Amino acid sequence: MNSYIVKRVLVLLPVLLGMTLIVFSIIHAIPGDPAETILGQKATEQSKQALRDQLGLDKPWFQQYFAYLGDLFKGDLGTSIRTKVPIAQEIMPYLTATLELTMASMLFAIIIGVNAGIVSAWKHNSWFDYCCMVIALVGVSMPIFWLGLMEQWLFANKLHWLPSIGRMNARDPVEAMTGLYVLDTMIAGRWDQLWTVTKHLLLPSIALGTIPMAVIARMTRSSMLEVMSSDYIRTAKAKGLGPFFVVYGHALKNAFIPVLTVIGIQTGSLLGGAVLTETIFAWPGVGRYIYEAISSRDYPVIQSGILIVAFFFVVINLIVDLLYAVFDPRISYK
């Protein structure tokens, strides 16, 4: 197992290196002048040239790339052109916000999706099975921006049950220790703040988690139907085990490998694909952070932001690979 982890970590390095090269090349191929974007169209040519010299934008792109790599190997993600703040310091609040939203969304998707898929397979061809699959189809087809706006209209504007934007109450801010507000409020023992933070988290996490929930439900149902027809399941039923123990104690563990793969892919996708949800709910996440950097041609922020998202995506895939052996003892890493 240890040697496998080391090999995967070593493979991670060229993947991330290739990602930096691709992103760097694409960004610098976009037409436009970052100096003009920062200073404005009315700025003089002398001031624009001075800014290019200061930021090294007048050098060939490969020199800029190797300079960026040199700083990256030193642990320096660079400095934002727009805000003049080190990216490692500036990106952390945005990154923790996206991590919290992603974890909440996947928790919703896994709990609802896995159980809906299990019951659908258990009650195959019943009204519940048909209803779940119709809901799953609608969930996959429904645009996130439309669902988010409908949630705001119903639960925030009409019923006034939940807040529509932000992560917390601006009048009673959370003391950020880890950046994960739910965890921070629990550490501080502020249960009133915990409820407030949870209410702010509900609508965006449901909107973002609907598509993964539908995908997980369909995959769980398909995998469970295949396992439920196996001989060992019939043997378990013949022994007199109750349906609950047959399904959750025997069938689910063997059917969970493809479901686990889907969960890993969906989790990685949410980390970098939450821009719409973060925009609709004014959620200060890394997706919005990168989007604003693209609008202002902030090269270092775009490169570092995408690199961090790619890093988490690869790490999640590694964790999923290691969890295969937990759910299926026949899998070994030698």
DSSP secondary structure string for all residues of 204-237: HHHHHHHHHHHHHHHHHHHHHHHHHTSHHHHHHH
What share of residues in the chain are helix, strand, coil (percent, to 5)?
75, 0, 25
Q: Are 165 and 68 in contact (CB under 8 A)?
A: no
Structural domains of the chain, with CATH:
2-73 (no CATH), 87-327 (1.10.3720.10)
Q: What is the CA radius of gyration of the chain?
A: 24
- 46: CB partners within 8 A, 6+ apart: none
| Residues in a beta bridge with 55 | none
DSSP code per residue over 284-300: --HHHHHHHHHHTT-HH
Write down the pTM of the prediction.
0.84
Are 5 and 322 in contact by the 8 Å Cβ rule? The answer is: yes
Please give the Cα distance from 266 to 251 (Å, whole number). 23
DSSP string, 310-321: HHHHHHHHHHHH
Give the pLDDT score at 322. Answer: 80
Contact between 304 and 23 under an 8 Å Cβ cutoff? The reply is no
Nearest 5°: CA angle at 253, between 132 and 315? 90
Q: Kindly give the residue spans of alpha helices, DSSP state H, lying in 123-175.
A: 127-141, 144-151
Cβ neighbours around 78 below 10 Å, total: 18
CB-based contacts of 140: which residues, under 8 Å, 6+ apart? 211, 214, 215, 218
CA separation for the pair 274, 314 (Å, rounded) = 18
pLDDT at 107: 93
What is the C-alpha separation between 203 and 199, in angstroms, rounded?
A: 8
| Torsion angle in degrees (nearest 10) through CA of 58, 61, 62, 66 | 70
pLDDT 10s digit of each residue in the chain, 334 long? 677 777 777 877 888 788 888 877 877 776 666 777 666 667 777 777 777 777 677 777 778 788 878 888 887 888 887 788 888 888 888 889 999 999 999 999 999 999 888 888 888 888 888 888 888 888 888 888 888 888 889 998 888 888 888 888 777 777 778 888 888 888 888 888 889 889 999 999 998 888 899 999 989 888 888 888 777 777 877 877 777 788 777 778 788 888 888 898 888 888 766 788 888 888 888 888 888 888 777 778 888 888 888 888 888 888 888 887 777 766 665 5
Report the DSSP beta bridge partners of residue 79.
86
H-helix or E-strand spanning residue 122: helix 87-122
Type of residue at 321: D
Nearest to 171 by CA among 149, 148, 192: 192
Q: Rounded to an integer, what is the distance from CA 153 to the centroid of its chain?
A: 25
